[in-house]
Structure 1
């Protein structure tokens, strides 16, 4: 499905940086554009494209993580990290769907300015619902990325860090 090793390193440790940046960035963009439709119009197709790239990065990273999990010793912390990581895809799908919906609503408001069939898109209840749902999906996705990252850091470093300073070749 995607790379598992890059320059001799497990691809997961490289790809995860993209997810850690893209999910919060997309979440922020979706909420800002839901609150400020002019921002969505200015971003144009960049908003749903960002949502799509974020969505695509999650299964690539998960696949590389599953490969890595199979190549490290059995560890409950690694298992917990993998279990949490499996739960990010629905949040990424939600971010993509909301990025497309917010873009479409902002575009529809502009294109259908004189069209009464587009009036429902600009109605206050629809806008409030879009803002609240976008905020919920954005918050959930960022919290999930934090939890996954925290568990991954614990899995990677739990037995590698010394409590005392180490002397190196003096």
Structure 2
């Protein structure tokens, strides 16, 4: 995918990633810390993580196309390098979201059968810590990538003073 309605697809797709990664990270952390929330989210949690996971390489591919159509400089290269590192974080969000969904389903099923079978405390703590680390890493990475992309796009591209051309006079 290269252009959408005459605009580079990357510019449009990046908004999905910027919204979906933090949203998925938040849903994962809430689900792992609050099991009833994971049960209420049900299959929505891994589906959200799957859409997030799929959006990352689509956005990166569109970004590679765009990189080939703009003047290359160190800022663009830095943004591209950082962007290449997001897929493992998105993959981690997906795997953990699927595990939280699966575990919450098992807990709900065992509770319906009259016996509550929850994972041992060390397993729950490890899952919570791992989810927090992956969620924080994904969100921080999205921030760093977005910041570098904004710098690449807007470096020397605007004036700090108004141009006087049709503003809010």
Q: Which residue does 1:149 correspond to in 2?
A: 146
Look up the match of 1:61.
59
Give 2:7's aligned residue. Answer: 9
Query: Aligned residue for 1:128?
Result: 125
Deviation at 1:151, TM superposition (A): 0.2
1:49 is matched with 47
Q: Is 1:91 aligned to 2:98, yes or no?
A: no
Structure 1 pair 57–169 and aligned structure 2 pair: CA distance change class (3 A): closer
Unmatched 5+ stretches in structure 1? none
2:25 aligns with 27
What is the aligned counterpart of 1:163 among 160, 164, 167? 160
1:70 aligns to what?
Answer: 68
In 2, the alpha carbon distance for the partners of 1:68 and 1:82 equals 10
The counterpart of 1:138, out of the listed 135, 138, 155, is 135
| TM-align CA RMSD | 1.7
TM-score (norm 1): 0.93
What is the Cα deviation at residue 169 of structure 1? 6.1
Hey, what's the Cα distance between the residues in 2 that align with 1:86 and 1:157? 21
* In 1, Cα distance between equivalents of 2:114 and 2:141: 40
Q: Any gaps of 5 or more consecutive residues in structure 2? A: none
Superposition deviation, residue 122 in structure 1: 2.2
